[in-house]
Amino acid sequence: MAEEQLVNTEVSLEDIKKREAKFQDIYDRQDASEALYFLEKFTLSNLEDDEPTPNVQNVTLNDPQTFAKKAISALTKAEQVIEITGKKMTDTETHPIELFGTNVLTAIDERLTNMGEVGLFPTQCERVCIRGSIAARVGVRGGKGGTVLWDVMPWDTRFYADAVAPDGMKWASYTTTKDKDMVQAEHGFAMTDDEASIRDVLTRQKEYIYVNDELKKTMTHGLGYVPVIFSGSSSGTTLKTASRAKNIHDDIFSSVRDLYEQLNICATVLQTMNIMALRQCLLRMS
């Protein structure tokens, strides 16, 4: 009985931040992969003091972004198939269930589009490639006129943390920045600032909304489980070593992440040599 009570204890903001600190190695790796994906400008540095090297023509190759786009494109071309099987179930019985699943996915995408987001499947394809994992808040609510609102919101795992127990997830937290109009529409909070940090925390019984780390709203869903899904890629390791945290659920850059910097160094040196040779030719001509 004591163990069950411990597992279901509600989480504090301090507990969440301590847990996020343990995710920092993963966040750092995800930041490094994001920099490659967005072609963060490369700057050649001195070996002795790590200061930017003067008088060089820095080059940032587009290889990592090209590689990522190809991987993401290959995933998004995959066809989602819902197939229901069961003992003695005929196609007449399974088809309506399969059609229902397809319609639910369409409704989810329509809601995301209305919110200015990209559809669920392409969003998760990009994130599993670049972040190495995916997450989403999953809810079903009553809409206007007796309709059903499929409240599914994909979460970027760079800003995600959770805690698990032997019987499943204990809580999940997601932090993002929203403008005041969106905060007003979603949560009903009037704001004077143009934007705010919003932390959505879901436990097995409740949902907490923090605005700039101040608890503003508490709701009870009473499901008995955390309505959040998380899934990581199989890339990485399952070894229980000290460095396992940063190597679990790795992304598509896992084996080449450090190689791109060396390629940029080579391209920078070659381009600088070309510029220097051109300058010598121009001096001779003049």
Q: In the chain, pLDDT over 70 holds for what percent of residues?
A: 95
Average pLDDT over residues 139-164: 91
Average pLDDT over residues 270-285: 80
| Cβ atoms of residues 208 and 217 within 8 Å | yes
| Structural tokens at position 67 | 């590689």
Mapped onto helix, strand or coil, the DSSP state of residue 199 is strand
Confidence of residue 227 (pLDDT cuts 50, 70, 90): very high
Task: Say what the pLDDT of residue 210 is.
Answer: 93
Instruction: Determine if residue 213 is left, alpha or beta; phi over 0 gives left, psi from -120 to 50 gives alpha, anything else beta.
Output: left
| Cβ atoms of residues 173 and 162 within 8 Å | yes
| CB count in 10 Å sphere of residue 271 | 14
Q: Tell me how far apart the alpha carbons of residues 253 and 109 are, in angstroms, rounded to a whole number.
A: 28
Average pLDDT over residues 266-283: 86
**Which amino acid is present at 211?**
V
Task: Say what the pLDDT of residue 4 is.
Answer: 39
Average pLDDT over residues 266-273: 96
Which strand (E) or helix (H) includes residue 187? helix 180-187
Confidence of residue 3 (pLDDT cuts 50, 70, 90): very low
| Cβ atoms of residues 16 and 201 within 8 Å | yes
Strand partners, 228: 137
39-43, 66-70, 78-82, 188-192: the lowest-pLDDT one: 188-192
| Cβ atoms of residues 131 and 124 within 8 Å | no
Which strand (E) or helix (H) includes residue 230? strand 228-232
Q: b/e per residue, 103-130, with b = 16+ CB within 10 A? A: eebeebbebbeeeeeebbeebbbbbbbb
Q: What is the pLDDT of residues 83-137, one digit of tens each?
A: 998 888 999 999 999 999 999 999 999 999 998 999 999 999 999 999 999 999 9
Confidence of residue 283 (pLDDT cuts 50, 70, 90): low
Average pLDDT over residues 166-188: 89
User: Rounded to the nearest 5 degrees, what angle is found at the Cα of 89, between the Cα atoms of 78 and 138?
Assistant: 50
Instruction: Report the candidate in 49, 69, 54 with the shortest Cα–Cα distance to residue 268.
Output: 54
| Structural tokens at position 240 | 């229980």
Confidence of residue 186 (pLDDT cuts 50, 70, 90): confident
| 63-76 helix and 24-37 helix, angle to the nearest 10 degrees | 100
Average pLDDT of the residues of the chain: 90
